[in-house]
């Protein structure tokens, strides 16, 4: 599984672990995180940008991890 540390802007391979939390807006959320080998901060799973031509360019689906992945409550 590939992860992206936003702090270091580095992609790295890791097993990762599931993190669950309750978001005020989105409710129960979960995502896979892994500690960055450089800074040790939990990094989100890296998702390649979708290439689909059908997706609206302003698309901002209310999916957990996409919108509230930056929450650190």
b (16+ CB within 10 A) / e for 35-54: bbeeeeebbbbeeeeeeeee
Question: Applying CB under 5 A, which of residues 1, 17, 23, 39 lies at the interface with Zn ion?
Answer: 39
Is 36 a binder of Zn ion (CB under 5 A)? yes
Site residues (CB under 5 A) for Zn ion, limited to 43-72: none
Contacts of 8 (CB under 8 A, 6+ apart): 36, 38, 39
33 binds Zn ion (CB under 5 A): no
Comparison of 4 and 26: residue with beta carbon closer to Zn ion: 4
Binding site for Zn ion (CB under 5 A): 5, 7-8, 36, 38-39
């Amino acid at each position: 599984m590939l992860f992206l540390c936003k702090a270091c802007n580095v992609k790295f391979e890791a097993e990762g672990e599931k993190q669950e939390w309750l978001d005020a807006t989105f409710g129960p959320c979960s995502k896979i995180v892994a500690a960055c080998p450089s800074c040790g901060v939990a990094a989100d799973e890296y998702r390649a940008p979708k290439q689909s031509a059908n997706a609206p360019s302003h698309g901002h689906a209310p999916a957990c991890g996409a919108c509230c992945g930056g929450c650190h409550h």
